[in-house]
Homo-oligomer: A and B are copies of this chain.
Amino acid sequence: MVQAITLPRNEGGIKAAIAALSEAFGDRLQTGQALREQHGHTTTWIDNQAPDAVVFPTSSEEVSDIVKICAEFGVPIIPFGTGTSLEGHVNAPAGGICVDMMRMDQIVAVHAEDLDVVVQPGVTREQLNTYLRDQGLFFPIDPGANASLGGMVATRASGTNAVRYGTMKDNVLSLEAVMADGSIIRTASRAKKSSAGYDMTRLLVGSEGTLGLITEITLKLQGIPEAIRSARCSFRSVDEACQAVMMTIQYGIPVARIELLDEMSVRAANQHSGLDLPEVPLLLLEFHGSDAGVVEQSDTFAQIAEEFGGFDIAATSTPEERNKLWQARHDMYWASLGLRPGAKGISTDVCVPISKLADCVSAARSKAEEMGLIAPIVGHVGDGNFHALLLIDMESAEEREKADTYVSWLNDLAISMEGTCTGEHGIGQGKRPYLVRELGETTRFMAAVKAALDPDNILNPGKILIDG
């Protein structure tokens, strides 16, 4: 069981920082318990560690002011978006000040000709896409939750259509960030590519608030495709489904999404979303392109799927049917919880080379059965990334212990298969030991970078690095 770590508190500094911030921000600095606990809470199994205060800036300059005050008093700063991270990223193990970025929610500029947009970090994914729709543009990264874009940058988020559009690392052109001394920097120009020095953009993407606070984001956009087509296909085994995925990717079909639901997940979806899918492993796909192109793509996929024993293949370009299927996919977290009401869902996040995917998923299923764990599996399988959602009675010490054993075993298995313990959720507090198991001495150089950019360790301490 991953315990929340606790770090020494700087009581005097925290008190002084709160006083200074209170003077500067008035009632935009809050210390009520409920609000603080809400800001120390994410959908994680790690205990809530509330910050000492929450402050709500509305500009980069105000974020800089906050950081300068906290730096002066040596007080931790924890940036907060929608609180949908999964590994205790917003916990406050040494207390400190939570910086709620959600009032920085302006879409600053849309450059339709350049296919980019400049946003503040509190803009959510759905807010942005609603705003863009009239212009025929969209931002493709979709982690499921309606996360803030700042949070998505910070955790290097991805999701269902990363197989085609990449992750946040591929879709951020430039960042404005406030560094540990309060400096406001811009990491890159708005040019589509650059060789101008170290890639500070990518260094901040995925840094989980430990190297700087993201205050403005320039994102790449895509044109809304002329046609979108979805398909589904059932398989007798996870192995056959994974073989079909591998061949689809190798064949170069530019699938926009290719998602696996194992048998248990399909059962959960049927119950939750009123579907009547065959209760066997299922692939859900989406194709983006021209009218003719998407039909060609889905036909080619169907041929491949049949080779691997796929059946009950259905494809549609009708929005209603498409949305129904994808809504069911999006609701999988809630649907899975329905398999064991009252249980807490603990999500694994391994990602392996696609040639190892079938073995890894099969082993993950067998191990869960062997340990008596209920653990439906869904996966962004085009990337080799899947989630087993362990349904755990958190009141039971034995079950928590089992869950921990399983998570540890699966992370180690993925690492032994040249994979990673986290495809998209990040390290936070929870995965810090696994990062060391995965990358060994490389973490020492990560720590050197952290120490160079945040020498007093005030930016989201206790995250990513064991000694961070």
Contact = CB atoms under 8 A, between A and B. Distances in A.
B189 A415 contact: yes
B198 A203 contact: yes
Interface in A422-468: 422-427, 431, 435, 438-446, 448-453, 464-465
Contact of A449 (B158, B196, B203, B354): B203
Contact of A196 (B115, B183, B353, B421): B421
Task: Give the oligomeric copy count.
Answer: 2
Given A116-B353, A195-B423, 4 more contacts: A115-B354, A191-B419, A195-B206, A196-B431
B464 A197 contact: yes
Interface string A375-393: 0000000011100000000
Contacts of A249: 115
A197 B446 contact: yes
Contacts of A439: 185-189, 196-197
Contacts of A111: 353, 355
Interface string A259-299: 00000000000000000000000000000001011001000
A166 interface: yes
Most B C-beta atoms less than 10 A away, residue of A193, A194, A198, A200: A198
Contact of A203 (B189, B202, B254, B443): B202
Interface of A: 111-116, 155-158, 162, 166-167, 169-170, 179, 183, 185-200, 202-203, 205-207, 211, 222-223, 225-226, 246, 249-252, 254, 290, 292-293, 296, 349, 351-355, 383-385, 414-415, 418-427, 431, 435, 438-446, 448-453, 464-465
Most B C-beta atoms less than 10 A away, residue of A185, A249, A415: A185
Contacts of A186: 439-440, 442
Contact of A167 (B193, B252, B383): B193
A225 B246 contact: no
B446 A452 contact: no
A243 to B, nearest CB: 10
Nearest to A249: B115
Contact of A189 (B169, B197, B418, B441): B418
Given A198-B203, A200-B442, A246-B113, A384 B252 contact: no
A192 B441 contact: no
Contact of A420 (B194, B385, B443, B449): B194
Contacts of A205: 199
Given A179-B445, A250-B112, A198 B206 contact: yes
A206 B250 CA distance: 29
A-B residue pairs, 9 tightest by C-beta: A452-B452, A202-B202, A113-B355, A190-B418, A191-B351, A223-B252, A194-B420, A114-B353, A195-B426
A449 to B, nearest CB: 6
A203 B206 contact: no
A351 B191 CA distance: 6
A194 B442 contact: no
A143 to B, nearest CB: 11
